[in-house]
Each structure stands twice: as C-alpha cells, then as structure tokens.
Amino acid sequence: MADFVNPQTLALRPSENAMPSPWVVCTREQLTTWELIPQIYRKWVTDHIEEMTVGEKAAAVAAALEAQRDATIATVDNVEDVLRATILVLRDELNAHADKINAILDAVDGASNLATLKSAVALIANYPQRSIDNVRTTIRGKLGT
C-alpha cells in the first residue's frame, strides 16, 4: 500500500493499493505534512505541495467567497423557490409605493395653488394595508413565474 496525492485537485489519499493517473505516489512523511495544510491553501509546485503565501491565501478565500455568493444568488433563479417569489412580491410592493410617491410629486409639481394640489392629491388612490393572508396568497401566486 502507498500514499497518493492528486496534483490537480491536491486531494490526499493514505494507504491505497493503487490509484489511476493523475494520482502520484508520495511518502508518508509528505502526506502527514501536507495533511496539516487546509486543502484550500495547498498549491502544487513541480512535484510536491506547498502552503500558499498570505497573498495567495487571501485570493483563494476571496475566490471561494465569490463562488459561494454566486451559488447563493443563483437560487433566486429557481422559479419554485419561495425566496424568489417573496422578492418578486417585495419588488411589486416597492414599485407600487414608488408610483404613489411619484403621483404625489407630480401633483405638487402641477399645482398652482393649494386648492388644485388638494384636488390632485384627492384623486390618488390610497395604498392598501396587507394582511398576512394576502401576503401569503400573493407569494403563492408568484411561485412558478
């Protein structure tokens, strides 16, 4: 039995009978030393593993964090995900609120006196209150869209 390292993935395998290419044989001492280095901080140099420098570690952590963020935000693309449906409902509510504010601002811009301002604002529909049942129903309606 021998110990192996994969120079592509930097994975370590102790006490294996045989491993296919690209796995290469390493000594037990090398394996033991390399196992102390977290896999994210390993790099292959010619014929062995070395620990990354501080700068390389920072770059590896930043890349891993970016990949994790991309994977997290990709869940928003799942049309059956409740988070996506909630975000769509929230977007619609924020847009409706912005429309109301813009209507009020337009009324102020177009008013020549207080009476015309009152008349213009009176025409703007009230913003309805939302019950939890209404929110659930709206979110349910967004699933699959």
- Model pLDDT for residues 17-47, shown as the tens digit of each residue: 889 999 999 999 999 999 999 999 999 999 9
Q: Which one-letter amino acid corresponds to residue 85?
A: A
Q: How far is CA 56 from CA 6, 60, 73, 88, in A?
A: 20, 6, 26, 39
Mean pLDDT along residues 6-12: 94
Q: What is the pTM of this model?
A: 0.59
- Model pLDDT for residues 46-105, shown as the tens digit of each residue: 999 999 999 999 999 999 999 999 999 998 889 999 999 999 999 999 999 999 999 999
Note the residue count of the chain. Answer: 145
Kindly report the number of other CB atoms within 10 A of residue 88's CB atom. 18
Sheet holding 12-16, edge to edge: 12-16, 2-5, 24-26
CB 49 within 8 A of CB 40: no
Six-digit token string for 117: 């301002």
CA 109, 114, 115, 117 dihedral sign is positive
* Backbone torsions φ then ψ of 137, nearest 5 degrees: -65, -40
Rounded Cα distance, 90 and 104, in Å? 21
Per-residue pLDDT for 137 more than 90?
Answer: yes
